[in-house]
Amino acid sequence: MTFSAFSKEITKGRYLDPSDGFKEKESVFEIRHDAVTGVTSRILPYRFRVVKRPDINEYLEKSPVEKCPFCLPLFERITPRFTADVIAEGKFQRDGAFLFPNAFPHDRHNGVAIFSSRHYLGLDELTPGIMLPGFLVCRDYFARMAELQPELQFCSINWNYMPPAGGGLVHPHVQTVIGERPTRFMKTLYESALHYNDGRGGDLWQDLIASEKGEEERYIAATGATHWLVSFAPRGMAGEIAFFLAGKSSIFELTEADFLEILGGFSRIFAYFLESNLISFNMTLYATLRKESRFPVQGRLVPRFMILPLGTSDINYFEKLHGEIICPVVPEQVCRDIRPLFQDGRHSGR
């Protein structure tokens, strides 16, 4: 049985097909709505694929080490520092990772973290061990800000990896946002959980995960406390992967082992991206600072790409101005493609 918040409508279009003597052809597509996320996606059954992996060297040539603000010597000279009341050293540091204020802030508390001094890390080099310090330094920063300003409650770790996803530098970095109020999408998720009523006092996320696991259509796997699934109504043209940390009700309940589980899952998903010629993605991990049992730590990854030969954007008028996503891949097929990567242990190492 489909989860109660999911609904879909099948629609058909007709046209005379020039590739088949202009015979009448019917194309069937689904309009899916997820009441938990508020997302509406149109699933087109074409099994679209990016046929050629973009040339990374073009990006590397345009973003050289000498001009990189996250590489030495510019890193020391031009990256912002925190005021001494936040941290005396000016930056948070852990095992080669640094966190510092965003030079182009879009929130009152908006940080940037780099994993290391490595200027470029390909998707196959982003192992859990390489990424871990960058995520732990975010948690260190959240802990300090929660101590300084107890009214802060919502935090996120966000990643635009490479230019098709909005990444302005190739040097891998994530961005943190903390606020008293959630962002719009996080508010939707949070309020869906608060208002969830299945008539027996159940928990939205537990019910969602149990239903998806039982249905075996979009549930990828569990790794430790983390459940991985492909979204019913994705927010990207190439689909979306969601993850939930059952029972982890604040960012501070995540242990180093939990972060390694999450990042191990990322590595497996990155392997799927590479197999699919996808070299860019957006990721957000959403969490609360104070314990909130109705909102377990969770996140989403959306692959991003440009359509050749023109470098056409994967965001069009439908998403931008109608708020619906055209998705020419079938989420259930994405799940079937990713699942083997979670079964063979190839990407579980540090």
Point out which residues bind Zn ion (CB under 5 A). 68, 70-71, 119, 171
Which residue's CB is nearer to Zn ion, number 166 or number 168?
168
Beta bridge partners of 304: 280
Residue closest to Zn ion when measured from CB atoms: 68
Which residue's CB is nearer to Zn ion, number 66 or number 151?
66
CB of 171 to Zn ion, least distance (A): 3
* Token reading at 332: 């259930």
Which residue's CB is nearer to Zn ion, number 26 or number 61?
61
Which residue's CB is nearer to Zn ion, number 117 or number 206?
117
Largest CA distance in the chain: 74
Helix (H) or strand (E) holding 241: strand 241-245
CB of 61 to Zn ion, least distance (A): 14
CB of 71 to Zn ion, least distance (A): 3
CB of 75 to Zn ion, least distance (A): 8
Helical H runs in the chain?
56-62, 74-78, 128-148, 184-194, 204-215, 256-275, 317-322, 331-338
Which residue's CB is nearer to Zn ion, number 35 or number 74?
74
Which residue's CB is nearer to Zn ion, number 71 or number 165?
71
Question: Nearest-CA neighbor of 97 among 170, 172, 157?
Answer: 172
DSSP-derived secondary structure for 53-104: ---HHHHHHHS-GGG-TTSTTHHHHHS----TTT-TTSSEEETTEEEEE-SS
CB of 274 to Zn ion, least distance (A): 22
Contact 37, 188 (CB under 8 A): yes
CB of 280 to Zn ion, least distance (A): 17
* Token reading at 66: 């000498």
CB of 118 to Zn ion, least distance (A): 8
Which residue's CB is nearer to Zn ion, number 171 or number 218?
171
CA distances from 340 to 19, 190, 210, 218, 269 (A): 36, 32, 21, 13, 11
Beta bridge partners of 287: 155
* Token reading at 135: 């995520």
